[in-house]
C-alpha cells in the first residue's frame, strides 16, 4: 500500500487519505467552488453528486492499495477544503505527477504551496522517487506559481493538451528531480 505522508503540514493544515465517508464533505467543497474550479479542471461536469465523489474516492482507495496512486484531502482547521493527488506512480522510472485544488477563499495564504512541498518531500524522501511532474493550464498563473516557488523547472508547454469542456488548453509542464 502506498505510504501516506505525515498528516501535519503546518498549523491548522493537515493531509489525510480520502475515504468513502468524505464524499459528502468533498462534494460540498467542490460544489461551493464549482465556477472557479471549472475554469481549470476538466472533471467538474462529471461530479454532480456525493455518489460521483464516492466512486472517485473508491477507485483511488483501490489504486492506493495497489501502490499506483494516492488522493489526499486537504483539511484546514478541521474542514475538508481541497485535495492533492499523487497520480499514477511509474515505479520502473521512479516518477509520478501531482495535481491539486483548494477552496478559492483560501487562496494567497501559502496553504497549497505548503501542501505541495510536503508531498514532494514525502515522494523523494520516503518513496525514493526520482522525478515529479506538475502540469498547469498556461493561463492559471496561481497554480503555476506553486511549482515555480518549489524549484521545479519548466520543461515546456504541451499545446492543446487538455480538453476543457468546449476548448483545448495548453499545459505548462514542470518537473523536479530528486537531485535538484
CATH of the domain at 114: 3.40.630.30
- Residue 9: name the closest of 149, 130, 112 by CA: 112
- The pLDDT score that the predictor gives to residue 3 is 86
Alpha-helix residue ranges (DSSP H) falling in the chain: 23-32, 34-38, 50-65, 111-125, 141-149
Residue 142 lies in a domain: no
Q: At what angle do helices 111-125 and 141-149 cross, to 10 degrees?
A: 40
What SS3 class is residue 105?
Answer: helix
Residue 157 lies in a domain: no
Task: Quickly state the pLDDT bin for 1 (edges 50, 70, 90).
Answer: low
Task: Quickly state the pLDDT bin for 2 (edges 50, 70, 90).
Answer: confident
pLDDT in tens, 136-173: 999 999 999 999 999 999 999 999 999 999 999 999 99
Strand partners, 102: 82
Residue with cell 537531485: 179
pLDDT in tens, 94-142: 999 999 999 999 999 999 999 999 999 999 999 999 999 999 999 999 9
Residue 152 lies in a domain: no
Q: Which run of H or of E encompasses 28?
A: helix 23-32
- The pLDDT score that the predictor gives to residue 136 is 97
**Side-by-side strand order, sheet with 79-86:** 8-10, 13-17, 70-76, 79-86, 95-102, 131-137, 168-177, 153-163
Residue 108 lies in a domain: yes
Alpha-carbon span 172 to 164, nearest angstrom: 15
What is the domain range of residue 29? 8-130
Residue 104 lies in a domain: yes
Residue 101 lies in a domain: yes
Residue 138 lies in a domain: no
Looking at the structure of the chain, the number of domains it has is 1
Q: What is the pTM assigned to this prediction? A: 0.95
Average pLDDT, whole number, for the chain? 96
Amino acid at each position: 500500500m502506498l505510504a501516506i505522508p505525515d498528516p501535519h503540514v503546518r498549523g491548522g493544515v493537515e493531509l489525510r487519505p480520502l475515504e468513502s465517508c468524505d464524499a459528502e464533505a468533498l462534494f460540498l467543497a467542490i460544489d461551493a467552488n464549482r465556477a472557479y474550479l471549472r475554469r481549470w479542471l476538466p472533471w467538474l461536469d462529471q461530479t454532480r453528486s456525493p455518489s460521483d465523489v464516492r466512486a472517485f474516492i473508491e477507485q483511488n482507495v483501490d489504486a492506493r492499495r495497489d501502490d499506483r496512486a494516492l488522493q489526499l484531502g486537504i483539511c484546514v482547521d478541521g474542514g475538508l477544503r481541497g485535495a492533492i493527488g499523487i497520480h499514477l506512480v511509474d515505479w520502473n522510472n521512479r516518477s509520478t505527477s501531482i495535481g491539486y485544488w483548494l477552496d478559492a477563499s483560501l487562496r494567497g495564504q501559502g496553504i497549497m504551496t505548503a501542501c505541495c512541498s510536503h508531498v514532494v518531500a514525502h515522494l523523494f524522501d520516503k518513496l525514493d522517487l526520482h522525478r515529479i511532474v506538475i502540469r498547469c493550464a498556461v493561463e492559471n498563473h496561481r497554480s503555476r506559481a506553486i511549482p515555480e516557488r518549489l524549484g521545479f523547472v519548466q520543461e515546456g508547454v504541451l499545446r492543446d493538451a487538455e480538453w476543457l469542456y468546449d476548448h483545448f488548453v495548453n499545459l505548462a509542464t514542470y518537473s523536479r528531480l530528486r537531485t535538484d
